[in-house]
Chain A
Amino acid sequence: MSLFSSIGKAWVEKFDAVYDNLALLGEVVVEAFTMLFKPWRFRFGDSMLAYQRAAFDGLPISIGIGFLLGLILAFQSAAALRTFGVETYVADLLAIGLFRELGPIITAIILAGRSGSAFAAEIGTMKVDDELDALATMGLAPVRFLVMPRVVAAVLAMPVLTICAELSGLVGGAVVLRAMDIPGSVFWGNVASTTDVFMIVFGLAKSALFGLLVGIVGCCAGMRTKATADGVGVAATSAVVGGIIAIAVSDGLIAVICYFWGV
């Protein structure tokens, strides 16, 4: 195969993947509306299992990464701000950075790595084992059975994981500033004065959107799994990569929208 045809084929596959993701998003939206009127269609047990794996099992790593992130950010910024004698502003920097941006983004990347890949691997294995075909021939929609429980779990897990990561990040920052002889009361006072409810809710809403994207991309990668030796592995990888790209692109769009709206 020539270089040009290889590049062309790769791009066509990328566009196919984007198309499939958008189509799946549409199906999820339709199914979500259907479930509003027919809530018994929702596979609550499956969703709770996915939620346990995404949220509770992911809690330690989210807290750990959040704490280290806060620690590093505080340490790096305090060193620079101390030159000007304003190291107490580290608390403001951490609060704004974590609640608005870093908390949701870092947690979403963790979710993409843990749960997005798991969704792709689970559904991919089911596809290779003909379980998706079995659902289809029973007249049961894979979106309702496999995708909705996982997407709902991811959407609900993200705010919980995000707030835990953010709080542990602030604790990390407090530890650094305490070591620099800045009292905890000053740190937490600055955090409280910088933070408002809108900022926290905005960050959590963004994190829920990231959860939706990670869930959709992970499930779509699973449903696109090819029945080859490395099919499930490729699906899991593309779930993580696709999830991170989706997070970054959507975060960029949100940033632009917020800029023009003055938020």
Chain B
Amino acid sequence: MEAPVVEVRDVDAGYPGELILNDVTFDVARGEIFILLGGSGCGKSTMMKHMIGLNPVIAGEILIAGERWSAKTRASLCRKIGVMYQSGALFGSMTCLENVMLPLDEFSGLKRKARREKALSLLGDVGLLDAADKMPGEISGGMRKRVAIARAMALDPEVVFLDEPSAGLDPITSSALDDLILALRREKGMTFVVVTHELPSIFKIADRCAIFDKARKVMVALGKPAELRDKSEDEFVRKFFNRGEISHGE
């Protein structure tokens, strides 16, 4: 059996002096679309920041392709992950093409022509070849997120993390982004870890999801969304799937 791409082991998530999630354990298999799910402020984005090495965990360990985050492994692990932030986080002073080329310029070792061709190919994969020479400020929010996905995939990472890909998008654009994620998994075998609380997205794209509860500060469920919705005995999980997002304090 193939080793998981992401291993989260007994992790206490949060910041120094502020525990947000306690004792979280799960794996993400290669080619899987895994969702981190929960109400506002439950710690799903905090967990993602631990997984992408931005913040150290309070306790436990996170392994990406078998390697633990540390000062020594940071450089190599940064090339094994790709991240799309909620806002897209494209660099406003660069064109879309230059944004996608940036990681290739820095780390690929390819010649300029090859880098440009690869970046154009990635933009083609996300359906934005026409926007290559546009600045991020000239394209829509949905397009910025697609460019950000292309940039995240530039170095052929082991896993791509997506932070709230549907946030701020209309249902049609959001659904198109879901289709893109499914197509990339199908065509390139990409592994995705997605932070979201959009139920339509979850049922459309997720293989499995982990659900976090802010009140108990734990992961309350792990499994396939439809099974959790139909069979979970946890009251929070039932409420979540029946009523949509549970807001803070409920």
Contact = CB atoms under 8 A, between A and B. Distances in A.
Interface stretch (A126-134, A207-215, A254-262): A126-134
A113 B177 CA distance: 43
Contact of B78 (A49, A131, A138): A138
SS class, residues of chain A in contact with chain B = helix
Interface in B95-110: 102-103, 106-107
Nearest to B161: A137
Contacts of A139: 74-75, 78-79, 106-107
Contacts of B103: 138
B87 to A, nearest CB: 5
Nearest to A129: B87
Contact of B54 (A46, A131, A136, A140): A136
Interface of A: 46, 49, 126, 129-131, 133-134, 136-140
Contacts of A136: 54
B31 to A, nearest CB: 22
Given A137-B78, A137-B81, A138-B102, A130 B89 contact: yes
12 contacts: A46-B93, A49-B93, A126-B92, A130-B86, A131-B92, A133-B54, A133-B83, A133-B85, A137-B54, A137-B83, A138-B78, A140-B102
Interface of B: 52-54, 74-75, 78-79, 81, 83, 85-87, 89-93, 102-103, 106-107
A145 B93 CA distance: 12
A134 B161 CA distance: 12
A134 B53 CA distance: 11
Contact of B52 (A46, A49, A131, A137): A137
Contacts of B53: 137
Given A133-B54, A134-B83, A140 B106 contact: yes
B29 to A, nearest CB: 22
A141 to B, nearest CB: 11
Nearest to A45: B93
Contacts of A137: 52-54, 78, 81, 83
Given A131-B89, A139-B107, A140-B102, 18 more contacts: A46-B93, A126-B92, A129-B85, A129-B89, A130-B85, A130-B87, A131-B90, A131-B91, A131-B92, A134-B83, A134-B89, A137-B53, A137-B54, A137-B81, A137-B83, A138-B102, A138-B103, A139-B78
A126 B91 CA distance: 8
A129 to B, nearest CB: 5
A140 B75 CA distance: 9
Nearest to B83: A137
What 8 A-B pairs are tightest by C-beta distance, nearest first? Answer: A139-B78, A130-B85, A134-B89, A130-B89, A137-B83, A131-B89, A129-B87, A137-B52
Nearest to B148: A134
A58 to B, nearest CB: 19
Contacts of A126: 91-92
Contacts of B79: 139
**Which among B53, B54, B74, B91 has the greatest number of chain A C-beta atoms within 10 A?**
B91
